[in-house]
Structure 1
Amino acid sequence: MRRRALLAALATGPLLTACESEGDEATGTLRIATGSPGAVYYRYGTAIAELARRFLPNVHTSVLSTAASQINVDYLLEDIADVAFTQADIAAGNEASHPRHLAALARLYDDYIHVVVGAGGPIASFDDLRGRRVSVGAQGSGTAITADRVLQVMDITVERAQLGLDESVKALRDGRVDAFFFSGGLPVSAIAELAKQFPIRLLNLADSVQPLRRTYGNYYAERVVPSSTYAGITATVAIGIANYLVVRLSMSEPLAYGVTRLLFEGRDDLAKTHQAAARLNIRSAISTPPLPLHPGAIRYYRAQKA
């Protein structure tokens, strides 16, 4: 009952500030840049859109399926999207202008870099990828950028294919690639479905974490994919990267406040779509380096004494 009351309150505007004016209602467009339909960004973003349509009635909401992190940042900067999912290392950008134009609403959850191979094949370690045909992710994706960085710091050359998640899954199953990279929250549904039909192995990435941190910054951490995540795998060390929900600094404060509040007060409903949404934590959500928090998000967190 309490959760339903909180969600119902969203339809009539924020309750958590002492003084609100009629002009403080969330209005405008909310074009959400996500990722491929088989991955977490798309499912999470679609669930946010559904809640926004119900509880932010003066906001026109739509979902954009994209190659994910890098193109999502580009879409924000080009005013093609209003809010986007992106990895922390991509949010930092290759240009100093990014932090001046973008702001975060929240740190959402951690992505895990997967390197997936067939369980019955000859590839048992990351070093075995040398000279192999490997999908490094779709052009414009965060996966592609992080995969390039991992291969570089490990000094491994592969025959590259740039395929999205769904295409990578099919190519591995059909024998057209020997391995593929993908960055996503656990579990990635497309990989889970693959594991049910085609035995897979995840490669251990422990040796790449510290070189990545030394070369590219402290956006990377050692994380373990539990054995229960995908059928047939053993617990495997992966690379963790924080995910942010990012907007332009020019977004109106009421809209940024409304979306931030929706994330937390609609968390149970969002988690029904993907369990990554349940990992949203108000203490860690405010940590979004190098991006600042949007003033609308700050207003929400201050009201919650975060």
Structure 2
Amino acid sequence: MAIGISALLRAVGALAITVGLATATASVRAQEINYFSIGTGGVGGTYFPLAGAIANAISNPPGSRPCDEGGSCGVPGLVAVAQSSHGSGANVVAIVSGALNSGFSQADVAYWAYSGTGRFEGQEPMRDLRVIAALYPEHVHLVASKASGIASVADLKGKRVSLDKTDSGTYPDAVLILEAFGLTEADITVENLQPEAASEALRDGRLDALFFVSGYPARAVGELAASAEIVLIPIVGPEVDKMLLEHSFFTKDKIPDAAYRNVKGVETVAVGAQWLTSLEQNEDLIYGITEALWNDTARQLLDVGHAKGTSVTRQTALDGIAIPLHPGAERFYREAGMIK
């Protein structure tokens, strides 16, 4: 009889555990999971690791510990994912088509896409593009092998140069810089390689130089500096002054000596990086994402996620924006007193 009672108690206990697990599972399932993609660039750039840090900051999967207990402080039910891509140009197209929920883009590419000008001349303006936040300045890296003898933009004539993929953000900026110095694509041997492939080609002697627009330190350039003798080429002079008058999205800036090991820093130009989404995205969702981006937990994740993360601040979230904010983001900034 005792054995029968013991077996019965074990059965009841097992049933209770099963019911408890089923209830917990049902509770998690009851909380809707909302996946949110962030288009970036190549994995060797700054977009990808920074987007990973932001994705962690805004995510709050079902079953996570509460924020005040050291758990996730993002949007309840949200699972954000950084997704590699060809960069700015590819991202704006994917956002408008619905293939991406959001993505990073250079400020110039965002404006051209929204207005149907520049590199998007003759195309239907992407009027549904909206900004969540301005992020940080991206610097034009012009990297050359030391053996190439290249010391200025003018020296690129007759050389093998990668301008990045044609749907990247780097490509149109590289073309503008070449034009500023009186060069066209016909004056060089053009390669359209992503930064990782371009770095490998330069290391192997199949390429003389490459353009790459990225916040420093960019992983692809850092790895190249560790395995090959390279130099950063300055982008300076009266040609640059004239270019800035015609294209105000460029600013003068510098890549410091400490950015890459054994590589001397240079004066160059920069353009702002922005986080974009579509007007089609739910207002409350984007409000929650914007709020999560600027909470204290996100600050910690940004500061340790990438060296450029410290440059992503709420104080500069509206700098250099030339297309409309998403209504959800705008509501957050108004409530925060950043928009009067």
Please give the range of the TM-score, normalised by the shorter of the 2 chains. 0.7 to 0.9
Structure 1 272/124 Cα, relative in aligned 2: closer, same or farther at 3 Å? same
Contact 1:105 1:293 in 2 (8 A): yes
Partner Cα separation in structure 2 for residue 155 and residue 90 of structure 1:
23
- Number of the residue aligned with 1:45: 51
- Number of the residue aligned with 2:107: 88
Secondary structure of the 1:180 match is: strand
- Number of the residue aligned with 2:87: 68
Aligned partner of 2:307 among 258, 270, 275: 275
Aligned partner of 1:187 among 189, 204, 217: 217
One-letter amino acid of the structure 2 residue matched with residue 31 of structure 1: S
Matches for 1:130-149 after TM superposition, within 5 Å? 130-149=157-176
Secondary structure of the 2:280 match is: coil
Structure 1 98/290 Cα, relative in aligned 2: closer, same or farther at 3 Å? farther
Matches for 1:197-276 after TM superposition, within 5 Å? 197-207=227-237, 208-215=239-246, 217-265=247-295, 266-276=298-308
Partner Cα separation in structure 2 for residue 79 and residue 284 of structure 1:
28
What TM-score does the superposition give when structure 1 sets the normalisation length?
0.86
Secondary structure of the 2:176 match is: helix
Contact 2:46 2:218 in 1 (8 A): yes
Partner Cα separation in structure 2 for residue 258 and residue 44 of structure 1:
19
Deviation at 1:61, TM superposition (A): 2.8
Secondary structure of the 1:228 match is: helix
What TM-score does the superposition give when structure 2 sets the normalisation length?
0.78
Partner Cα separation in structure 1 for residue 305 and residue 312 of structure 2:
14
Matches for 1:161-176 after TM superposition, within 5 Å? 161-176=191-206
Deviation at 1:92, TM superposition (A): 0.7
Q: Is structure 2 residue 41 aligned with structure 1 residue 35? A: yes
Which piece of structure 1 moves more, 142-151 or 90-99? 90-99
Secondary structure of the 2:259 match is: coil
Structure 1 47/231 Cα, relative in aligned 2: closer, same or farther at 3 Å? same
Secondary structure of the 1:160 match is: strand
Gapped regions of structure 1 (runs ≥ 5): 1-24
Give the superposed CA RMSD. Answer: 1.9
Deviation at 1:287, TM superposition (A): 2.8
Gapped regions of structure 2 (runs ≥ 5): 1-30, 61-73, 118-123
Matches for 1:115-134 after TM superposition, within 5 Å? 115-134=142-161
Deviation at 1:272, TM superposition (A): 1.2
Structure 1 41/141 Cα, relative in aligned 2: closer, same or farther at 3 Å? same
Partner Cα separation in structure 2 for residue 75 and residue 149 of structure 1:
24
Partner Cα separation in structure 2 for residue 305 and residue 285 of structure 1:
13
One-letter amino acid of the structure 1 residue matched with residue 319 of structure 2: S
Which piece of structure 1 moves more, 74-83 or 231-240? 231-240
Partner Cα separation in structure 2 for residue 49 and residue 284 of structure 1:
20
One-letter amino acid of the structure 1 residue matched with residue 337 of structure 2: K
Q: 1:67-115: per-residue Cα shift (whole Å, max 9, x none)?
A: 1100000101111001110000100125165462111111100000000
One-letter amino acid of the structure 2 residue matched with residue 292 of structure 1: P
Q: Is structure 2 residue 323 aligned with structure 1 residue 291? A: yes
Contact 1:104 1:288 in 2 (8 A): no
Deviation at 1:26, TM superposition (A): 10
Structure 1 98/246 Cα, relative in aligned 2: closer, same or farther at 3 Å? farther
Partner Cα separation in structure 1 for residue 213 and residue 46 of structure 2:
10
Partner Cα separation in structure 1 for residue 96 and residue 181 of structure 2:
32
